Amino acid sequence: MPTILLSTLNARYFHSSLGLRYLLANLGELQADAAIREFIITQRPLDIAETLLAEQPRIISFGVYLWNVTETTQVVALLKRVRPDLVIVLGGPEVSHEWEEQPIVQMADYVIAGQADLAFAQLCRRLLTNDPPPEKIIAVEPPRLDQLTLPYPFYTDEDIAHRLIYVEASRGCPFRCEFCLSALDQTAWPFPLEPFLVEMERLYQRGARHFKFVDRTFNLNAKIGARILDFFLERLDERLFLHFELIPDHLPEPLKTRIVRFPPGTLQFEIGVQSFNPAAQALIDRKQDNRKTEENLTWLRQHTRAHLHADLIVGLPGEDLASFAAGFNRLVALDPHEIQVGILKRLRGAPISRHTTDFDCRYNPHPPYNLLCSRLIDFATMRRLERFARYWDLIGNSGRFHQTRPLLLGDDPFGRFLIFTDWLFAVTGQTHQFALGRLFDLLYQGLSEALGVAEPVARGALTEDYRNGGMKGCPAFLQPTVLPDRRGKSPRTAAAPLRQARHRVTGQ
């Protein structure tokens, strides 16, 4: 039975916790008495507690994040009710700031605020030698990265076969965007490159082909980025899939010359545009050259086979509905494969809170702490925009509606899709659990009724998308016509996620 359990609740089964593996890797002599136990947030807290208690540990640590704090609080409450003597240690961004009134913190024995890679082992040594520290909150400074034992050997064969493999070549961020906790970092720190690449080679030899880099600024250091891209270019195969976060206005030539060499389905770039409004950017201390951002996105779209996922935020201080609409239209014109529309959140500890009074920002008191309304966007409008974001992800980002999407967007993508959003919610009263055949029917109806698209035109576009998607059956909008037996389903490699594959096989 392990003395120490390292646990967290992931959002989905195919996620894996890089943080837990860092803790295990750096436990030193205690490593043999420790084990990782990962769960998902849809599991019942009582079942999770039962599983953990069955191993009779002395210490359980939990990684606490925005997406799992509610469920983890319930698990901790159950554990403490059954075994009050069990030592509960918390870590993670959700409990590293503003912990005073958090129920989960009140129930726990210790909280490590900050990067706990080395501090957790030190705490466990004290606890196991009956020398507990007097303070409950243990604030730590970031460790030197060259002092850390890398965690990658602690990905199991099951992880490699079935889960995302998270890796990081650097930590921190030199920028000060106030909506992000990375605004608290002093700079970005690279890991020693050669040991990192040795670990990547070992993962690759074990069969890992999906590598998700969690670096905030992968393209900040062109020399390091180029070395990493070279490493994977030398190991290209049909299953390789790499995810990187990019600074939108910084794309040095050494990176460009390498990015163009990757085949379709291999690279995915998450590009945080967030806003095109210079006044809003200045308010939140975001330094971004909008012209360079547009140039880089255009170049990536036109000259590479990378899948582009761009982010925009609704509700930033200084940005009203008209400003966001203009930014959305500007980004649509650049044609990334996906646009993630996110609602501003007030993360614990993030400097965005300094604007709360000036802009009368009202945030959800419960996770995910999303903006409910402000001086610039009222509550009813914010609710419409939340539905806009959900429907856009369902339709605009899905990769299913290449022929239909231009009819939805026209020459005013935001305005037209908001009209469709309002219509769709009025008709269905729901934002989730749409059967795909029904969604095609609703699009046909909405194009005609809400957006004034001629029925033959709407039917023609949706029919083509239905064929290309390899759909079975005959939805209502096609019943008056005969659908040729031409499904047009294209194969996809195992390397790319399904949605990305839909964007690729249609040539979009």
Cβ atoms within 10 Å, residue 504: 19
| Residues 160, 203 contacting (CB under 8 angstroms) | yes
The conformation of residue 393, written as its DSSP 8-state character, comes to: I
What is the per-residue pLDDT for 470?
82
Looking up tokens 């030592």 gives 87
Q: Is the dihedral of CA 485, 486, 492, 497 positive or negative?
A: negative
pTM score: 0.91
Going by pLDDT thresholds of 50, 70 and 90, the confidence category of residue 185 is confident
Share of the chain above pLDDT 70, in %: 94
Q: Does domain 164-377 have CATH number 3.80.30.20?
A: yes
What is the band of 486 on the pLDDT scale with cuts at 50, 70, 90? Answer: very low
Instruction: Quote the pLDDT of residue 476.
Output: 85
Q: What is the pLDDT of residues 104-161, one digit of tens each?
A: 999 999 999 999 999 999 999 999 999 999 999 999 999 999 999 999 999 999 999 9
Q: Beta strand pairing status for 362-363 and 371-373?
A: antiparallel
The answer on pLDDT for 488 being more than 80 is no
Q: Give the residue carrying structure tokens 């992800």.
A: 393
Q: Which two tokens stand for residue 216?
A: 């905030």
Q: How far apart are CA 148 and CA 304, in angstroms?
A: 36
User: What's the CATH architecture for 4-143?
Assistant: 3-Layer(aba) Sandwich (3.40)
DSSP summary character for residue 352: G
The reply to whether omega before 336 is within 30° of 0 (cis) is no
- Band the pLDDT of 504: cuts 50, 70, 90: low
Rounded Cα–Cα distance for residues 363 and 377 (Å): 12
Q: Give the number of other Cβ atoms within 10 Å of residue 104's Cβ.
A: 22
Q: Is the pLDDT score of 397 beyond 50?
A: yes
Residue type, 70: T
Residues in the chain: 508
Q: Is the pLDDT of residue 291 over 50?
A: yes
Q: Above 50 in pLDDT, residue 103? A: yes
For residues 413-440, average pLDDT: 96
For 5-20, the pLDDT digits (tens) are: 999 999 999 999 999 9
What integer is the mean pLDDT of 90-104? Answer: 96
CA–CA separation, 151 vs 103, rounded Å?
31
Nearest in space to 250 (alpha carbons), one of 300, 285, 208, 201: 300
| Sheet strands (E) in 23-115 | 34-40, 59-63, 87-91, 110-113
Extract the tokens encoding 354.
């300094």
What is the spatial distance between Cα 487 and Cα 97, in angstroms, rounded to a whole number? 53
Residue with token string 């008209």: 322
| Domain segments of the chain as ranges | 4-143, 164-377, 394-508
By mean pLDDT, which of 125-129, 346-350, 460-464, 492-496 is the weakest? 492-496
For 432-453, give the DSSP string.
S---HHHHHHHHHHHHHHTT--
Amino acid 493: pLDDT: 35
CB 33 within 8 A of CB 65: no
Element (H, E) at 50: helix 45-53
d(CA 382, CA 402): 28
Same fold, 4-143 and 164-377: no
Residue 508 pLDDT: 52
pLDDT tens readout for residues 231-289: 999 999 999 999 999 999 999 999 999 999 999 999 999 999 999 999 999 999 999 99
In the three-class reduction of DSSP (H, G, I as helix; E, B as strand; rest coil), residue 307 is classed as strand
